[in-house]
Amino acid sequence: MKKCKLSFNELLPVTRSQRRKYAHYVGKKLGKRIKVPPLKSMEENYSFIRIKPDLEKLGWKEGGLENEVEHEGILSISDTPVLKLVNEKFDISLIPQFEGIEISRLGVKKEYRGQGLGGRVLNAILNFLIKHGVEEIYVYPGVIHNNISENGLHYYDVERMYLKRGFIQRERIQYWKLDVNLFLTRYPNEESNNILLS
C-alpha cells in the first residue's frame, strides 16, 4: 500500500461530498479507491469520553491519528482522536470505534518481548475498559505483510492471542469484537492498573 502524506484535517469542516471529490483526486494519484467515512466526532463516542480522564491520570496522552485501513483493495482514511501510552516497554493506542473502543496498536518494545507482557497488558486494557462500562471493544488484526506484524510477531500468534481472549471475527466486517462474557469467564481475576503504569 502506498502511503498518502496528505492530511484530511483541513477537510473536516467541509461537506462529505467535497471530501469524496478530494478523496477521488488523491485516489487517482495513488492508484487506489479511497473510501471517506462519515464524520463522527469524539463527543459522540461516550466510551472514549468515559475512559479518557482516568487514562490521562495513568500517564496516557491524547493526540490525533490519521487512521489508514485497507480492506479488499479500498483505502479508508479518517482522522481520529487517540489515547497513547508510549514508554520504555509499550506502544499502545486506543481510538473510538463505532460506539466503543478499538485497541488500534498493541506494541511491546523489542527488549521486553517473549516475557508474556503483550498478553498481560491486553488483559489489563480489556479489564480497564470493561470496568469503565465500555461494552464494545474491537481490534483490527488487518493484513500483516509476509505474515510478520510490525512488532515482530507472526500473524497467527497475534490472531491466537485475540481469539484466546474472546475476540470474535465478524462476517463482512474487518474489526473483531470482544465477547465480554467469554473474556471474563477465561480471565476472571485480572487486575489492570499496575501494568498500565509500568
Cell numbers of 98, please? Answer: 463505532
**What is the pLDDT, as a whole number, of residue 179?**
95
- What is the pLDDT at residue 142? 61
CA 47 vs CA 21, 99, 135: distances in Å: 32, 7, 8
- Strand-pairing partners, residue 68, are 77
What is the average pLDDT across 92-111?
A: 88
Q: 109 falls in which pLDDT band (50, 70, 90)?
A: confident
Q: Quick one: pLDDT at residue 141?
A: 74
The structure's pTM equals: 0.70
Average pLDDT over residues 47-51: 90
Q: What is the pLDDT of residue 8?
A: 43
Tell which CATH architecture fits domain 41-197. Answer: 3-Layer(aba) Sandwich (3.40)
| Domains in the chain: boundaries | 8-39, 41-197
Confidence bin at 80 (pLDDT 50/70/90):
confident
Judge whether residue 16 has pLDDT over 80. no
